[in-house]
Amino acid sequence: MTAPLLLENVSAAYGARLALDAVSASFEAGWLTGLVGANGAGKTTLLRVALGLIPMTSGKLHVLDFPRDHWSREALARTMAYLPQGSETHWPVRARKLVELGRLPYRQSLAQLGEADHAAVDLALARCDALQFADRRVDQLSAGERARVLLARALATQAQILLADEPAAHLDPAHQLRLMELLRDESRRGVAVIVTLHELSLASRFCDEILVLRKGRILARGAPKEALSDATLATAFGIRPLKPSAGEAFPVIPWQRVE
């Protein structure tokens, strides 16, 4: 089998504005792949195109060796889990009930959760350190707590491909680290995990591979040391980095603007 998610010369647009420009990329099972780039670079668009939420204007996209359009809606929902950007929700629903929505692709309409569903929900809540507020209303949780519940909903799907859009944005530093550890663990289970990040220190430390996007195109791709070179960071972000030594890790910290 080829990579679980494969894009070949994929382009997409918002009206007359080209958002992705002939992007080719493969996302491997067992890898944590980071998508980084400045605002408007095309990171979220790539995820939404992969899910079929935005149409391609050209190119090919394969999921588990099959063209995405050949998948039924239900089968695709079991195969690809999505954690969208933002953690706002105003539903007066208990956190556990929200996580249970991750099991919808496995259930007939109005069917009750089975034993496997409850086990998947409990495991996802525990892995996201969210069991302690599982019975609280989501609209009464902090932004960081909601983010963890929404991640648990995605994990409860137990999909082969996990797409996460800026999941660290509303988390405190300790939970950002826990989040990245969790995503890395999920990849080690054999899942293809693709995550968009603005935090270059997290991307450089945890990701197996990084794609740097700029104006809808791939500017660089590879292991963190290769993809996040000084030249690439200057072009993509207009920054000079600080790269402190941390053993085998390669943390990148934005340090100076390039004038």
Tens digits of residue pLDDT in 164-219: 999 988 788 888 898 899 999 999 999 999 999 999 999 999 999 999 999 999 99
Q: What is the mean pLDDT of the chain?
A: 91
Confidence band (pLDDT; 50, 70, 90) for 247? low
Q: Determine what percent of the chain is predicted with pLDDT higher than 90.
A: 68
Pick the closest to residue 172 from 132, 139, 143, 206 (CA basis): 143
Euclidean distance between CA atoms 242 and 231, whole angstroms: 13
How many CB atoms are closer than 10 A to CB 54?
Answer: 18
Euclidean distance between CA atoms 49 and 252, whole angstroms: 29
Q: What 3-state DSSP class applies to 28?
A: coil
User: Which range (56-60, 80-84, 91-95) has the least confidence?
Assistant: 91-95
Does residue 133 have a pLDDT over 70?
yes
pTM here?
0.92
Q: What 3-state DSSP class applies to 230?
A: helix
Q: Region 216-235: what's the mean pLDDT?
A: 95
- Please state the separation of Cα 150 from the chain's center in Å: 12
| Helices and strands in the chain: count of H runs, count of E runs | 9, 12
Q: Region 35-61: what's the mean pLDDT?
A: 95
Euclidean distance between CA atoms 79 and 57, whole angstroms: 24
Residue 88: per-residue pLDDT: 65
Report phi then psi at 65, rounded to 5: 80, -5
Residue 131 contacts by C-beta under 8 Å, 6 or more apart in sequence?
Answer: 122, 125
Does residue 1 have a pLDDT over 60?
no
